[in-house]
Amino acid sequence: MFDVIFKLKFFFKENKWQYLIAFICLAISNVFAVLIPFIIGRIIDAIVTGEMNSDLLLTYSLQFGGLVILTYLLDFVWGYGLFEGAYKLQRQMRSALMRHFLRMRAPYFEKFRTGDLMARGTQDIRALADTVGYGMLVLMSATGFTATIVVMMGVTVHWGLTVAAVLPLLPMAYVIKVKGQQVDEAYEIAQKSFSTVNDDVLEMIDGMRVIRAYVKEADFIDKFKSQTSDLLKKNNRVSEISAIFGPTVKTFEGLSIMIALTYGSVLVVRGILSVGDIVAFQMYLGMMIWPIISVSELVLILRQGSASMRRVEEITHATDGLDLKGTEEAKTADNFVFDEFTFKYGGSEITNLDNIQLTLPKGKMLGIVGKTGSGKTTLIRQLLNQFPTGSGVFNMGTRSYADYQDPSLRRLIGYVPQDHVLFSRSVRDNIAFGKSDATDEDILTSIRLASFEDDLKNMDKGLDTMIGEKGVSISGGQKQRISIARALIKNPEVLILDDSLSAVDAKTEQNIIGNIRQVRDGKTTIISTHRLSAVKEADEIIVLDNGKIVERGTHDELVNDQGWYYDQFSKQEIKDITQGGDE
């Protein structure tokens, strides 16, 4: 349970002065806080016994006033120390996590879903920080403050009375803890129902047109109402359990006060205690409630903190299993050679690349075609160092690809992915992502090459148009073309298009391919595609099936072979009209 604190030892060590000062201030402030009722007790006694005079009043008032001001200042110091520390930790952990993400390659991101990484990177880190801020405060008051008050009661008033009055508060902590667990359980059930409602609404919005086309509005409303009824029932259950907390505290508090008054008056009759003692004691009891409740809270906070810690550690300790230790700097691209190259994804049952024999001479264009899942992307990913290297030979020039330093390889490659990834920034910044010192002229040239010119004209703010979440939404085809422009502006030695023209129409595709051929004369280009027209002009085309190269050659050769390529080509030529899927 306390492991979360031990695991964060590095952080407390780094900020040891801050925490030391905070804890000392907290401890002193606790002592001061309990001295105030003590002084009130003395003032009352002075009045009851008739000893009160101006001098005495002045002394007491100065002491009292001094304590009030000092307590306030101390409270500020430890409050700042503890809570600022929590936010500092939150910031630090988030940054560390981001840096970890940036170092990780594809296998890592396949292990965890984005939503999961996000939840851990935000909620769990916040929960952890709460443990460090509020949790520390609770820890201190549950232990330190309770002890201070008990000692004060015992020493200045009466030990017997203290034990008698404080004992009934202990079962209160227990009842609250048990009820707290029940609330958690009920809450989790309600939360599940809430998620269902959430999912249902999202599905309804996404499927709006289908619902309306099939006139199913009323059915969906009925279904939703029964969902919200279910949620209502579960929320009510949570309310019923949580409503018990306040009354429980009140019950035990009342019990404790009754004991204190009864036993207290007996002690006064015996002449052991004064009236002031009784008044002060009542005030101490009032101060005890919160620290005692916090004992049960502490368990919960620490448990949550530990769970969050585990979840965060899981993603910070996990790695992508890649070992990129090449040291040779890749100054320029060379021939790519695969020889008896075989690769399997971790956890995959089949061989994803099987005995690949392939030479791509520098400056030539390679076309990769094949069914979905045949290994096209897998082959390309080998060049990107996104997955572990397979077995067999994979060379650039005469050296193994793995010998080269990873960043220097990436510098040579321009990559256009299958799923268009753009960032929420302007069109300009998205394209200049490939070349940070690009001039507008460079950007416009690459836009022209990627056939995005007409689209740009329709954008109100031109290059400054924001895209993504905070800007305009653009179609899949437009995204693909911006991705292409981003890769082209880099003017890379090796350009890789991974089925990146699927959402543009045939005519535009031909334009882009034509432009690419023109500007990339003498530079290595790899195009993987479903649509064969995109690779017709390639120097070599390979057909992949189940990870194997099943056909290879130029377009004409493959057509002559009358194999899979020929089949596909005949079917596709007829179906394409000058229209893709830009909608």
Partner 1 sequence: MKTVKRLLSYMKYFKMHFTIGIGLVILSMITDLGAPIIVQRVIDQVITPAATSGEDYSNVLVRLIAIYFGLTVSTVITRYISAIYRMRGANGIIKVIRDQLYTRVQELPIHYFDNLPAGKIVARITNDTENLRQQFYVATVGQILINVFYVIGAFTAIAFFHTGLALVLLLLIPLMYFWNKFYTKYARSFHREERELNSDINGKLNESIQGMQIIQAFEQEEQISAEFEETNGKWYEVMRKYVILDSSFQWTFADFLRRVSLLLLMIYFSTQYINGTLGISVGMLYLFGDYVSRLYEPIKGIIQQMAFVQQAIAAGDRVFEMIDSDPEDNPTDKMTVTQGRVAFNQVTFGYNEDKDVLKNIQFVAEPGETVALVGHTGSGKSSIMNLLFRFYDPQHGEITVDGQNTRLYSRQSVREEMGIVLQDPFLFTGTIYSNITMDNPKISKEEAIQALKDVGGEDLLQKFEKGIDEPVVEKGSTLSSGQRQLISFARALAFNPKILILDEATSSIDTETEEIIQHAMDVLKKGRTTFIIAHRLSTIQHADQILVLDQGEILERGTHDTLLTTDGVYAEMYEMQKKGQTIAS
* Nearest one of 392, 318, 329, 381 to 357, comparing CA atoms: 392
Q: Does 219 bind partner 1 (CB under 8 A)?
A: yes
346 near partner 1, rule: CB under 8 A:
no
Lookup: tokens for 490? 């880099």
| Residue 372 touching partner 1 (CB under 8 A) | yes
413, 449, 494, 512: which one binds partner 1 (CB under 8 A): 413
Position 206 contacts partner 1 (CB under 8 A): yes
Q: Which of 4, 30, 111, 121 binds partner 1 (CB under 8 A)?
A: 121
CA distance 358 to 560: 21
Residues 352 and 344: their CA atoms lie apart, in Å, by 5
Kindly write out the interface string for residues 6-45 of this chain, putting x where it contacts partner 1 by CB under 8 A and - elsewhere. Answer: ------------------------------x---x--xx-
| 477 vs 581: CA distance, rounded Å | 7
Decide: is 574 part of the binding site for partner 1 (CB under 8 A): yes
Question: Which of 386, 400, 511, 515 touches partner 1 by CB under 8 A?
Answer: 386
| Per CB under 8 A, 207 contacts partner 1 | yes
Q: Does residue 91 belong to the site contacting partner 1 (CB under 8 A)?
A: yes
Task: Determine, following the binding rule CB under 8 A, whether residue 199 of this chain makes contact with partner 1.
Answer: yes
Per CB under 8 A, 451 contacts partner 1: no
Name residue 540's beta-bridge partners.
366
What order of strands is seen across the sheet that includes strand 391-396?
Answer: 353-360, 336-343, 391-396, 399-400
Find the binder of partner 1 among 1, 3, 110, 118 (CB under 8 A).
118
Compute the distance between CA of residue 255 and CA of residue 401 in angstroms, rounded to an integer: 78
What single-letter amino acid sits at 470? K
- 187 forms part of the interface with partner 1 (CB under 8 A): no
User: Which residues are 366's β-sheet partners?
Assistant: 526, 540
| Residue 248 burial class via C-beta count within 10 angstroms: exposed 0-12, middle 13-18, buried 19 and up | middle
Instruction: Report the residue number, 216 or 355, with the smaller CB distance to partner 1.
Output: 216
DSSP code for 501: T
When binding is defined by CB under 8 A, the residue of 59, 236, 348, 439 that contacts partner 1 is 236
Q: C-beta of 267: minimal distance to partner 1 in Å?
A: 10
Among 6, 10, 269, 460, binds partner 1 (CB under 8 A): 269
Size of residue set near partner 1 by CB under 8 A: 154
In this chain, which of 35, 52, 289, 466 binds partner 1, going by CB under 8 A? Answer: 52
Using rule CB under 8 A, residue 481 touches partner 1: no
Judged on CB neighbours under 10 Å (0-12, 13-18, 19+), 527 is buried
Burial-class residue 218 by CB neighbours within 10 Å (0-12, 13-18, 19+).
exposed
Q: Which is nearer to partner 1, 244 or 393 (CB)?
A: 244
- Site for partner 1 contains 321 (CB under 8 A): no
Rounded to a whole number of angstroms, the minimum distance from the CB of residue 470 to partner 1 is 8
Output 67 or 366, the one with its CB closest to partner 1.
Answer: 67
Burial of residue 574 (number of CB atoms within 10 Å: 0-12, 13-18, 19+): exposed
Query: Which residue in 189, 204, 318, 466 binds partner 1 (CB under 8 A)?
Result: 204
Selection from 470, 461, 449, 457 nearest residue 518 by Cα:
449
Using CB under 8 A as the binding rule, whether residue 178 contacts partner 1 is answered as: no
Q: By CB under 8 A, is residue 310 in contact with partner 1?
A: no
Contact set for partner 1, span 134-163 (CB under 8 A): none
| Residue from 11, 12, 64, 134 binding partner 1 (CB under 8 A) | 64
Is residue 545 a contact point for partner 1 (CB under 8 A)?
Answer: no
CA distances from 154 to 282, 339, 359 (A): 13, 85, 88
Which residues does 466 contact at the CB level (< 8 Å), separation at least 6? 424, 425, 426, 472
194 contacts partner 1 (rule: CB under 8 A): yes
Residue 3 as a binder of partner 1 (CB under 8 A): the answer is no
Q: Read off φ and ψ for residue 337, nearest 5 degrees.
A: -125, 125
Among 38, 83, 336, 338, binds partner 1 (CB under 8 A): 83
- Least separation in angstroms between residue 324's CB and partner 1 is 11
Task: Provide, rounded to whole angstroms, the least separation between the CB of residue 1 and partner 1.
Answer: 27
Please report whether residue 262 would count as binding partner 1 according to CB under 8 A: yes
Q: Which of 68, 155, 163, 350 binds partner 1 (CB under 8 A)?
A: 68
Q: Report d(CA 392, CA 343) in Å as an integer.
A: 9
Contact between 59 and partner 1 by CB under 8 A: the answer reads no
Burial of 200 (0-12, 13-18, 19+ CB in 10 A): middle
Between residues 87 and 174, which has the closer beta carbon with respect to partner 1?
A: 87
Strand partners, 552: 542
